[in-house]
Structure 1
């Protein structure tokens, strides 16, 4: 599909005056990372991610059609909306939502005809290195698509998901990987059938049983907001001295991990996933200006994982998002032994001993209105 396929050309507002819709949309964790993008939200390299389950954003979009006079005013001001997060009004979130609406208006031109109230809440700490913008923007995109489907009931489920992923990407790049699951590829890659820079696609090949219901325990080393946003981090890749080689490395790793996910080679999986995590942070530490999002306890956890793996031959490994928190990945078959290790050796490195037990999920779900 191409960009023009997502432009809504005809719609009828006569029978749609008010309503609400709620979506529960998971976060995701990239195995092969993307770091660096072009406008508008086009990745410099392909990425592949596990869709999570317990880490999600729950978003309700309440909509009311504006009367003609208010609609004209809204047209001048572009959009009419309020946003609430965790039950509190958040005017400081408005610029990001305004930018998102501005980017997607071409594809969903009915936005200016409605007054919106957006209510969101997370099951995990906001802006701490779990992909909160991915689940948040993904959920909002799905809510908007539900409104579009009301205007166009003949829409197919495939088109609905593709366009939701396309729109979510324009709010937060990785949001396009949160619509479906369990494994999503984003970015055009010659060896991944159907892959695109415009939206995420389900991993198109058979996934080995070793990687089904994979576990992800997230150790919350730092629940505070990151010192450097991902948006700023991506921008620093423009003049990065190692950027081109990194983009090539990531695309090569997509080829490698595609075979691993089909063969079930857990040892090779560990090598590539941990290398990707450390490379992501190496790019941050070698940008100009440079920055470090890992904390001392992040490194202590990594060393404990390495020691435990060496002693037990466990298939435990780690990955990192753009933050200090550590995602501990392991097969479901090792759940008991790894959970005991986490409780005895790792949680004291977490802020207030906080951690989240998660696993791989199947993607977003619409929540019925009460």
Structure 2
């Protein structure tokens, strides 16, 4: 017999837990299906030195402040995993794991959620799968010819693995800057960016970024001039390790190379650089393959939404993928508001 519930939440990371918190408060029956074997979402798989952009008190999910980490202003990933684990247990959220959702299908008046452990039937679905499982690699000429080690942000753990090696880090965002700073004094580092790195002012952290993103969304909703949001301020948050490496002159970016050779990279002027490893800090794409059977993707594979609700299937909400599903919704502090709105709309739909 196919188990049934009112709502299936796909993903048990921060967005899925925030959705569960608000669904519980709305009196909606739900289950959270998480592909990970343990709590903590993508935070379980980050590099060793990663820190939050904001103090613990400004990095919390709804209903429960993140406790401070002793001796640390900006908590590390392990602290976040512990917080998410406690959050899940504190609110007794019904998470089933590991469960891999293979596809969501229309089935009469319901949605059928096919998984590797069987099928579920639900009246609505909240997709909260994030982006970590879909790393993006650019189509750079020669990438398949390069014989050295290639890895993405998701694969990087520690500078110990690259001590004494020639390493090219590609990417001018936060991940690229943080990993370059991590490697700067232990490797022969080349940091490559598409444009000159734009560091945010040192006093800006995640608190300010959340406020800026929220203000931009409010302005757009009210028909006022687009302020540009966070992108207008810069691309890189100057967290302490990045600031230290930058101020020491260790973060000097080179322009993007034009192609890879078998042993390294080549620039437009013919300059070459040998490399033992290339780390691609080139971002992610939303992990939306479970929704593919619904045929919701439109122009450039984008799912059109009104807030979190899919325009072409009102029983489906998308949560935590970035500003297009809520201001700063891919962050701990930012996901609470869109999660509350998604839960409210789902409750209204069910009633």
Instruction: Check whether TM > 0.5.
Output: no
TM range (shorter): under 0.3
Structure with the bigger percentage of helix: 1
TM-score, length of structure 1 as denominator length: 0.25
TM-score, length of structure 2 as denominator length: 0.26
